[in-house]
C-alpha cells in the first residue's frame, strides 16, 4: 500500500532526516542518499512503491556539507568525479577505506539507536555512496538488520568485507546497477555481489541498460524485495 502519512523533518542523534511515519509495529527502512544529494532526494521512493504492508521510512542527511547545498557521507575527489562523468574511468574503492566512512557509519548507528526499534526491524539501504555505507552499517551493527538494498553501489575495502561479512551469513539483500554507469562501474558492482554471496548473503542482482540511476527495473526489483521482508 502507498504511504499516506505526511513527511516530517526530525533529528535523530546528530542527523537531520525526513521521516515518513507508519504504524508502531511497522519495520523501518533507513535510506541513505548519494554524494551531493540530500535527505529529500530519495523520499519519493516511499510513494513510488506500492508495498503490501506499512513501512516506516527515514531518509537522513549526510553529515558533510558540500557546494550547492548538497550533502555527503564522506569526501571524494571532485576532480576525479568530474573525469568519471566525462567517461574517464570509474571509482575503484575496493582496496581502500574512504576517510570519513567510519564517522558517517557511527552517526547512522546513533540514528538507529534513536529510533528505539530492534535491529531485526531495520532495513538498511541507499543509492551510490549511500549504498556503500549501507554495507558497512550492516557489518558494523550490533545485530543483523532485516535486510539491505544497494542501488548503484560498489565494492569498498574488499579485505575488510571478506573478513567480516560471513558473520552476517543469510542476510537478505537486493542490488541493482546500470551496465553503462560511468561513475561507479558495473564491474565493481559485480565484484560486490560476488563478495557478498561468497560470504553467504542471499540476494538478487538486477542489471539494467543505463547509467547512475534508479530506473523502472530497479524500482520493481526493490519493491518485490521489500514486500518479501514485510
Nearest-angstrom CA–CA distance, 70 and 128: 14
- At 166-195, the pLDDT tens digits run 999 999 999 999 999 988 999 999 999 999
Q: Looking at the domain assignment, is residue 144 inside a domain? A: yes
Q: Looking at the domain assignment, is residue 2 inside a domain? A: no
Q: Looking at the domain assignment, is residue 107 inside a domain? A: yes
Strand partners, 148: 124, 173
Question: What is the pLDDT averaged over residues 204-220?
Answer: 96
- At 113-171, the pLDDT tens digits run 999 999 999 999 999 999 999 999 999 999 999 999 999 999 999 999 999 999 999 99
Q: Are 100 and 74 contacting, i.e. CB atoms less than 8 angstroms apart?
A: yes
Q: Looking at the domain assignment, is residue 1 inside a domain? A: no
SS3 sequence of the chain: CCCCCCCEEEEECCEEEEEECCCCCCCEEEEECCCCCCCCCCCCHHHHCCCCCCCEEEEECCCEECHHHCEECCCCCHHHHHHHHCCCCCCCECCCCCCCHHHHHHHHHHHHHHHCCCHHHEEEEEECHHHHHHHHHHHHCCCCCCEEEEECCCCECHHHHHHHHHHHCCCEEEEEEECCCCCCCHHHHHHHHHHHHHCCCEEEEEEECCCCCCCHHHHHHHHHHHHHHC
Q: Looking at the domain assignment, is residue 71 inside a domain? A: yes
Q: Looking at the domain assignment, is residue 133 inside a domain? A: yes
State if pTM tops 0.85. yes
- What CATH number should be reported for the domain holding residue 150? 3.40.50.1820
User: Which range of residues forms the domain containing residue 181?
Assistant: 8-229
Q: Looking at the domain assignment, is residue 67 inside a domain? A: yes
Q: In total, how many domains does the chain have? A: 1
- Lowest mean pLDDT of 37-51, 87-101, 114-128, 215-229, name the range: 87-101
Q: Looking at the domain assignment, is residue 161 inside a domain? A: yes
Amino acid at each position: 500500500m502507498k504511504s499516506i502519512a505526511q513527511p516530517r523533518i526530525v533529528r535523530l542523534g546528530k542527523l537531520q532526516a525526513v521521516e515518513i511515519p507508519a504504524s508502531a509495529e511497522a519495520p523501518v527502512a533507513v535510506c541513505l542518499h548519494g554524494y551531493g544529494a540530500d535527505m529529500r532526494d530519495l523520499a519519493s521512493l516511499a510513494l513510488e512503491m506500492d508495498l503490501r504492508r506499512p513501512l516506516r521510512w527515514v531518509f537522513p542527511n549526510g553529515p558533510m556539507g558540500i557546494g550547492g547545498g548538497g550533502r555527503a557521507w564522506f569526501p571524494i575527489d571532485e576532480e576525479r568525479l568530474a573525469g568519471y562523468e566525462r567517461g574517464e574511468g570509474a571509482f575503484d574503492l575496493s582496496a581502500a577505506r574512504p576517510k570519513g566512512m567510519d564517522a558517517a557509519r557511527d552517526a547512522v548507528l546513533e540514528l538507529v539507536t534513536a529510533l528505539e526499534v530492534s535491529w531485526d526491524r531495520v532495513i538498511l539501504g541507499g543509492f551510490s555512496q549511500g549504498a556503500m555505507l549501507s554495507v558497512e552499517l550492516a557489518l558494523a551493527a550490533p545485530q543483523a538488520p532485516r535486510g539491505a538494498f544497494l542501488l548503484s553501489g560498489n565494492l569498498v575495502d574488499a579485505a575488510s568485507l571478506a573478513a567480516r561479512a560471513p558473520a552476517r551469513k543469510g542476510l537478505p539483500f537486493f542490488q541493482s546497477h546500470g551496465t553503462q554507469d560511468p561513475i561507479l562501474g558495473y564491474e565493481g558492482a559485480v565484484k560486490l555481489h560476488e563478495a557478498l554471496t561468497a560470504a553467504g548473503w542471499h540476494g538478487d542482482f538486477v542489471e539494467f541498460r543505463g547509467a547512475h540511476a534508479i530506473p523502472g527495473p530497479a524500482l520493481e526489483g526493490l519493491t518485490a524485495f521489500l514486500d518479501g521482508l514485510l
